[in-house]
Amino acid sequence: MRGKSLMIQGTGSSVGKSVLCAAILRMMKQDGLSVAPFKAQNMALNSFVTSEGLEMGRAQVTQAQAAGIEPSVRMNPVLLKPTSDRRSQVVVNGKAIGNMTAMEYHQYKPKLRQMIKNTYNDLEATVDLVVIEGAGSPAEINLREGDIVNMSMAESADAPVILVGDINLGGVFASLLGTVMLLTEEERARVKGVVINKFRGDVKILEPGLRMLEDLIHVPVLGVIPWMDVELEDEDSVTERFHRMAGTGDLDVVVVRLGHISNFTDFQALSLQPNVRVRYAQNASDLQNADIIILPGSKNTIEDLMDLRNRGMDALIVRHARAGGMVIGICGGYQMLGMTLHDPEHVESRIPELTGLGLLDMEVTFLPEKQTTQSSGTVISSEGWLSEIKGITVDGYEIHAGENTFGASVMPWLQIGDHVDGVCNVQGNVLGSYMHGLFDDGQLFAQIVQHVRSTKGLAPETAQALTMDEFREREFDRIADIVRASVDMEQIYRIARGEV
């Protein structure tokens, strides 16, 4: 191909840019091209650790998987992880460089431009084509001067742009027209086509509007993509997943929705288990009738634990555990299960110390240096029901800034190399671990489900779950088929080759 890049921008956040990029990458892979994703700057709490121990946004990880290549931090050189309404941790080239307010980061951004350009050029040299994703909207005219992720990135990569609008939100014609009209003449010249996403209904009814839009913006409509119930991992907390049930069955798994919830992609695999339904709990009443309660990761563990108490959820979680119910904590949720959380250097909060839920005999101290590493763990417990699954291995990654000190009444259940990565109580119904992704291959969670079913007097489950890898591959091919049937792929290739 002569062209080396294609950029997908949107009329706003959550219009479907990430999914469309994944679909295009999968289609191009199917067509024999070597392709890679790129997004200059992500803002998300769902992140991933590469094989080099570097942190990047989850969306580009998913897109790399769609392209059939290993995720690399070159695909997402800047990651912002909100720690509060006004501050974010800034991760550059996979390493956290500190926390900044919005204004501080706005002033810092110009220093990132050359690094981003160099990183992109390095990635571009390794593949036939790079599919670049924008962020939010290119029409935020108050942010144009400091832009590093939308039209500034398109100019840097000399990339043609396809603009995406979400018809499900309403006003898609106005949002597409308004976005194009707010671009400068040079920026407008880069827009080579528009796509309408998330359509429900008969496209024939839409066609007169498509022609009128083309006459107004002088850019062709490349296709109308129907609503797709996409089950790929979400980039951030702007997701419908928190408001609906996933899976069906007689075992109720409830994930507590924290204010600064992070890496909730850990729990997508749970609904792949047969006869398991997964939902998110916002209030204390949502915890009623739960069989398994899961405390997820958090970007601000101390503040989220205080918020749990304010919502009255802490007492119900403790009561569930004291009654023998299964409670699982991952990363920040694991830290909440301890006796006391110490933050003497104010790594996460201005509060130096907070009492934990007291379900695990351990103390947690937050340290400035964040641990980011891929890891492989082994179940080592020789006590209780966990002894039945001793030797099971799980793969995942760690992203945390905490150090645990254990008391006498906890048992190690998960070990990584020469260190303990997870402990449980003596009864074996309260488990915690720092490892993200430990449920992805299905085998560990399947054993947890079997144990809980046994304690409830339910028949054992005999059907086998899909792994997350198998599920993702199926989803990539499915969305690629839908998008290929909905857009003018030949025209998209011409745009990518620079022929339009």
Write a three-state SS string for 332-380. Answer: HHHHHCCCEEECCCCCCCCCCEEECCCCCCEEEEEEEEEEEEEEEEEEC
Cα separation, 166 vs 164, in Å, equals 7
Cα end-to-end span (Å), the chain? 14
What does pTM read for this prediction? 0.90
Q: Are 118 and 190 members of one domain?
A: yes
Query: Within this chain, do residues 117 and 174 fall inside the same structural domain, yes or no?
Result: yes
Which residue range is the domain that position 291 belongs to?
245-468
Token readout for 425 is 């109580």
Residue 479 lies in a domain: no
- Residue listed under structure tokens 């119910």: 325
Backbone torsions φ then ψ of 308, nearest 5 degrees: -55, -40
pLDDT for res 418: 84
User: Same structural domain for residues 222 and 323?
Assistant: no
What pLDDT score does 1 carry?
45
CATH of the domain at 22: 3.40.50.300
Pair of tokens at residue 276:
């398991």
If pLDDT is split at 50, 70 and 90, which confidence band does 325 have?
A: very high
What is the rounded average pLDDT of the residues 306-328? 96
Instruction: Report how far Cα 274 is from the mean position of its chain's Cα atoms.
Output: 24
% of the chain residues with pLDDT over 90: 80
Tell me, what's the pLDDT at 236?
56
Task: Give the model confidence (pLDDT) of 182-218 as tens digits.
Answer: 999 999 999 999 999 999 999 999 999 999 999 999 9
Residue 62 included in any domain: yes
Provide φ and ψ at 381, rounded to 5°: -65, 135
Decide: 81 and 262 in contact? Cβ < 8 Å: yes
Instruction: With H, G, I as helix, E, B as strand and everything else as coil, classify residue 8.
Output: strand
Q: Is the pLDDT assigned to residue 247 strictly greater than 80?
A: no
Same domain? For 225 and 250 the reply is no
Cα 56 from Cα 63, distance rounded (Å): 12
Same domain, yes or no: 337 and 416? yes
Q: What is the spatial distance between Cα 305 and Cα 303, in angstroms, rounded to a whole number? A: 5
The predicted pLDDT at position 349 comes to 83
Pairwise CA distance, residues 363 & 341, whole Å = 6
Residue 374 lies inside a defined structural domain of this protein: yes
> Based on the domain organization, do 438 and 313 belong to the same domain?
yes
Instruction: Encode pLDDT of 140-199 as tens digits.
Output: 998 888 899 999 999 999 999 999 999 998 999 999 999 999 999 999 999 999 999 999
Burial of residue 466 (CB within 10 Å: 0-12, 13-18, 19+) is middle
CATH, residue 314: 3.40.50.880
| Closest alpha carbon to 421 in 408, 403, 443 | 403
**Does residue 488 fall inside a structural domain?**
no
Tell me, yes or no, whether 113 and 255 share the same domain: no
3-state secondary structure (DSSP) of residue 344: coil
| Domain endpoint, select from 232, 262, 294 | 232
Which of the four pLDDT bands, split at 50, 70 and 90, describes residue 246?
A: confident
Q: Is 205 exposed, middle or buried (0-12, 13-18, 19+ CB in 10 A)?
A: exposed
Element holding 145 (H helix, E strand): none
* DSSP conformational letter for 484: H
* Residue in 465, 440, 102, 423 with CA at minimum distance from that of residue 263: 440
Cα separation, 88 vs 68, in Å, equals: 31
| Pair 354, 284 in one domain | yes
Domain co-membership, 198 together with 283: no
Q: Which residues are catalytic?
A: 331, 436
Q: Is residue 493 part of a domain?
A: no
| Number of domain units in the chain | 2
